[in-house]
C-alpha cells in the first residue's frame, strides 16, 4: 500500500461534478424499474412509508459514512478499511462489497439489456395498437428467449467497460449533467399522462393510502434492501466515489442532496406507473416486467408517444449506465489497487467475469428455467404453494436484502466504533470549517440506532427472529 502515489489518483472536478456522479450512481434502474415492482409486490403505500423512513434514518447516515471512509482513506473499499484500521479484519467488509458488486452488476446488465430491446421496439413502433395482454406477452416472449436478451446484455456491459476505461470525469460526468435533467422532465410528462388516465385514482390510492396489514417481516426487509439498492450504499460504491471527492466538498450536503434526488425520482416513477397499472388492469405484483408492460401502454395512448418512448428508454439506459459504471468501478479499483492488475486489463477482466454470471441471470426464464426454488414469506404464499424464484430473483434478493444491509451494518459500526472520532469529525466538518451541530446525532445514529435497526430488520426478515 505504501507504494500508491496519491498525487496521480483521479478526482472529481467540481461540486456539481460530485453530485452528478453520486446521483448518477444512485439514480438508475433501481428507481424506475425496481422500486415500482417491489412496492407493487409489497402492498404499495405502507411499503413506501417504511421505505422513506429507512432512507432518512438509515440510508442517509450510511451514505455519509461511506463518503467519510472513502475521502479519509483515498482508496478502494478493501484498501480503505485496511488503511484506516490496520491489522484488523475490517477489510473483509471491503471484500464483501466486491462480491456484492459482481452479483448486482450481473442482474443489472440483464435489465439494462431489456431497456435496450425496448429502445429498438420503440424505434420500430412495436407498441402501437397492442392491448395490455399483448404487451405482457411481448415482454415475456422476449425475456424467455435466448439470443436477443444476451446480445443486449453484452452490448450494455461493453458500453459500461468503455466508459470506465475512458475515465469518469470527461465522459459520463459531462453527459449526465445534461441528460439526467431531461430524464426528470420526461418522467414528469409521463406522470401527467398517467394520472389523467381514466381510473387513475386507484393507482394513486395504492401508492399513497397505506394499508399496514399488507406489511410482513419480509416486506420490511424488502424496503430496507430497496433503500440500500437505490442509494447505492452498503457495498463500497460510495466509498470508492468518496475517495475521488475533493477535500473542500461538504459531505453532509452532498449526501442529503443525492438522497433527496434519488427519492424524488423513485416517487415520480411510482406516480407514473401505478395509475397506469390500475387503468390498464395489470397486477401491481407482476414482478420485474412491470415497467416494460405499463409504460408502453401509456406511450401508445399519448400523442407523439413513439418519440417519447424512444427518448424515455434511451434516457433510462443512460441512467443505468451512470449506475453500472459505479458498480464496475468498485471491482476495477480493487483489482488495480490491491491485486496490482493494470487498469485496462482489470476493466476487461472484471467485465468478462461479471458478464459470465450475468448471462446465467438473463437465461433464468429461458434455458435455465428449471433452476429455481420456491419461497414462502407469508401464510398466503404457503397456501398458494409459494413464490417461484429463478437465478435472477435469487441474485437480486441476495444482493439487496443480504449483502447490502450486512455491508451497511459493518460500515456504520466501523465509523461509529472503529474509526478515530477526530478523523470522522474532520471529514464531516472539513477540519472545523463547517459548524456541525448535527454531528452528535449522526454519531448516535451510526453507533447505536442504525446498527440495531439494520440487525433487527435483517434477522426478522430472514426469519431468525420473530416479532
**230 lies in the binding site for ligand PFF (CB under 6 A):** yes
**153 lies in the binding site for ligand PFF (CB under 6 A):** no
Cell numbers found for residue 74: 483515498
Sign of the CA dihedral running 377, 380, 382, 386: negative
Q: Do 352 and 335 form a contact (C-beta atoms < 8 A)?
A: no
**232 lies in the binding site for ligand PFF (CB under 6 A):** yes
Among 107, 229, 313, 403, binds ligand PFF (CB under 6 A): 229
Q: In terms of C-beta density within 10 A (0-12 exposed, 13-18 middle, 19 or more buried), how is residue 218 classed? A: buried
Which lies closer to ligand PFF via its Cβ, residue 126 or residue 326? 326
- Residue 96: CB minimum distance to ligand PFF, A: 12
**313 lies in the binding site for ligand PFF (CB under 6 A):** no
The residue range among 3-11, 28-36, 88-96, 268-276 that interacts with ligand PFF, by the rule CB under 6 A, is 28-36
Q: In terms of C-beta density within 10 A (0-12 exposed, 13-18 middle, 19 or more buried), how is residue 89 classed? A: exposed
CA dist 276 and 278 (Å) reads: 5
Q: Do 45 and 207 form a contact (C-beta atoms < 8 A)?
A: yes
Cell numbers found for residue 85: 484500521
**289 lies in the binding site for ligand PFF (CB under 6 A):** no
The residue range among 156-164, 193-201, 202-210, 229-237 that interacts with ligand PFF, by the rule CB under 6 A, is 229-237
Three-state DSSP class for residue 372: strand
Query: For helices 147-166 and 91-123, what crossing angle results, to 10°?
Result: 120
CA dist 365 and 395 (Å) reads: 14
CA dist 175 and 171 (Å) reads: 7
**31 lies in the binding site for ligand PFF (CB under 6 A):** yes
**235 lies in the binding site for ligand PFF (CB under 6 A):** yes
Helix (H) / strand (E) element for 110: namely: helix 91-123
Among 18, 19, 50, 104, binds ligand PFF (CB under 6 A): 104
- Residue 236: CB minimum distance to ligand PFF, A: 8
**263 lies in the binding site for ligand PFF (CB under 6 A):** no
For 418-432, the three-class secondary structure string (H helix, E strand, C coil) is HCCHHHHHHHHHCCC
**68 lies in the binding site for ligand PFF (CB under 6 A):** no
Which lies closer to ligand PFF via its Cβ, residue 149 or residue 408? 408
Residues 6+ apart with CB under 8 A from 196: none
- Residue 330: CB minimum distance to ligand PFF, A: 7
Among 29, 84, 112, 445, binds ligand PFF (CB under 6 A): 29
**326 lies in the binding site for ligand PFF (CB under 6 A):** yes
Residues 6+ apart with CB under 8 A from 56: none
**401 lies in the binding site for ligand PFF (CB under 6 A):** no
User: Closest residue to ligand PFF, Cβ-based?
Assistant: 30
**30 lies in the binding site for ligand PFF (CB under 6 A):** yes
- Residue 428: CB minimum distance to ligand PFF, A: 22
CA dist 248 and 116 (Å) reads: 39
Cell numbers found for residue 98: 466486491
Q: In terms of C-beta density within 10 A (0-12 exposed, 13-18 middle, 19 or more buried), how is residue 434 classed? A: middle
Q: Which of 194, 225, 255, 307 is nearest to 41 (CA)?
A: 225
- Residue 129: CB minimum distance to ligand PFF, A: 32
**259 lies in the binding site for ligand PFF (CB under 6 A):** no
Which lies closer to ligand PFF via its Cβ, residue 277 or residue 321? 321
- Residue 279: CB minimum distance to ligand PFF, A: 26
Residue whose C-alpha cell reads 477540519 in the numeric block: 431
The residue range among 120-128, 225-233, 293-301, 441-449 that interacts with ligand PFF, by the rule CB under 6 A, is 225-233
The residue range among 147-155, 323-331, 414-422, 446-454 that interacts with ligand PFF, by the rule CB under 6 A, is 323-331
Among 25, 218, 306, 355, binds ligand PFF (CB under 6 A): 25
Contacts with ligand PFF, residue ranges (CB under 6 A): 25-26, 28-31, 104, 229-230, 232, 235, 237, 323, 326-327
Amino acid at each position: 500500500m505504501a507504494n500508491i502515489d496519491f498525487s496521480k489518483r483521479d478526482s472529481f472536478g467540481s461540486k456539481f461534478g460530485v453530485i452528478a456522479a453520486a446521483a448518477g450512481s444512485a439514480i438508475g434502474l433501481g428507481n424506475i424499474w425496481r422500486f415500482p415492482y417491489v412496492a407493487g409486490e409489497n402492498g404499495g403505500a405502507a411499503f413506501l412509508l417504511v421505505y422513506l423512513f429507512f432512507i432518512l434514518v438509515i440510508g442517509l447516515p450510511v451514505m455519509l459514512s461511506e463518503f467519510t471512509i472513502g475521502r479519509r482513506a483515498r482508496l478502494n473499499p478493501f484498501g480503505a478499511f485496511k488503511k484506516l484500521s490496520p491489522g484488523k479484519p475490517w477489510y473483509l467488509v471491503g471484500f464483501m462489497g466486491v462480491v456484492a458488486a459482481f452479483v448486482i452488476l450481473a442482474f443489472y446488465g440483464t435489465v439494462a439489456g431489456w431497456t435496450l430491446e425496448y429502445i429498438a421496439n420503440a424505434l420500430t413502433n412495436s407498441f402501437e395498437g397492442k392491448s395490455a395482454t399483448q404487451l405482457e406477452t411481448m415482454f415475456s416472449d422476449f425475456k424467455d428467449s435466448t439470443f436477443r436478451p444476451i446480445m443486449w446484455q453484452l452490448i450494455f456491459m461493453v458500453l459500461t467497460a468503455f466508459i470506465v476505461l475512458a475515465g469518469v470525469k470527461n465522459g459520463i460526468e459531462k453527459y449526465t449533467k445534461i441528460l439526467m435533467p431531461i430524464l426528470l422532465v420526461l418522467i414528469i410528462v409521463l406522470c401527467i399522462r398517467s394520472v389523467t388516465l381514466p381510473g387513475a385514482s386507484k393507482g394513486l390510492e395504492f401508492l399513497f393510502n397505506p394499508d399496514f396489514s399488507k406489511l410482513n417481516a419480509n416486506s420490511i426487509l424488502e424496503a430496507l434492501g430497496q433503500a440500500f439498492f437505490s442509494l447505492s450504499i452498503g457495498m463500497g460504491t460510495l466509498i470508492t466515489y468518496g475517495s475521488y471527492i475533493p477535500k473542500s466538498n461538504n459531505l453532509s450536503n452532498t449526501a442529503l442532496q443525492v438522497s433527496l434526488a434519488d427519492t424524488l425520482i423513485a416517487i415520480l416513477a411510482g406516480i407514473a406507473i401505478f395509475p397506469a397499472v390500475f387503468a390498464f388492469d395489470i397486477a401491481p405484483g407482476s414482478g420485474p416486467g412491470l415497467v416494460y408492460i405499463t409504460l408502453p401502454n401509456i406511450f401508445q395512448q399519448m400523442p407523439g408517444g413513439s418519440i417519447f418512448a424512444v427518448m424515455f428508454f434511451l434516457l433510462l439506459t443512460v441512467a443505468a449506465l451512470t449506475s453500472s459504471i459505479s458498480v464496475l468501478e468498485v471491482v476495477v479499483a480493487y483489482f488495480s489497487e490491491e491485486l496490482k492488475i493494470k487498469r485496462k486489463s482489470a476493466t476487461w477482466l472484471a467485465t468478462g467475469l461479471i458478464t459470465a454470471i450475468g448471462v446465467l441471470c438473463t437465461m433464468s426464464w429461458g434455458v435455465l428455467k428449471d433452476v429455481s426454488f420456491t419461497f414462502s414469506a407469508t401464510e398466503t404464499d404457503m397456501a398458494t404453494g409459494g413464490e417461484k424464484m429463478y437465478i435472477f430473483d435469487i441474485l437480486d434478493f441476495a444482493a439487496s436484502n443480504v449483502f447490502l444491509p450486512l455491508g451497511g451494518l459493518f460500515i456504520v459500526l466501523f465509523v461509529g466504533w472503529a474509526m478515530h472520532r477526530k478523523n470522522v469529525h474532520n471529514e464531516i466538518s472539513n477540519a472545523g470549517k463547517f459548524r456541525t451541530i448535527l454531528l452528535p446525532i449522526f454519531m448516535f445514529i451510526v453507533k447505536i440506532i442504525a446498527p440495531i435497526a439494520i440487525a433487527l430488520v435483517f434477522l426478522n426478515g430472514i426469519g431468525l427472529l420473530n416479532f
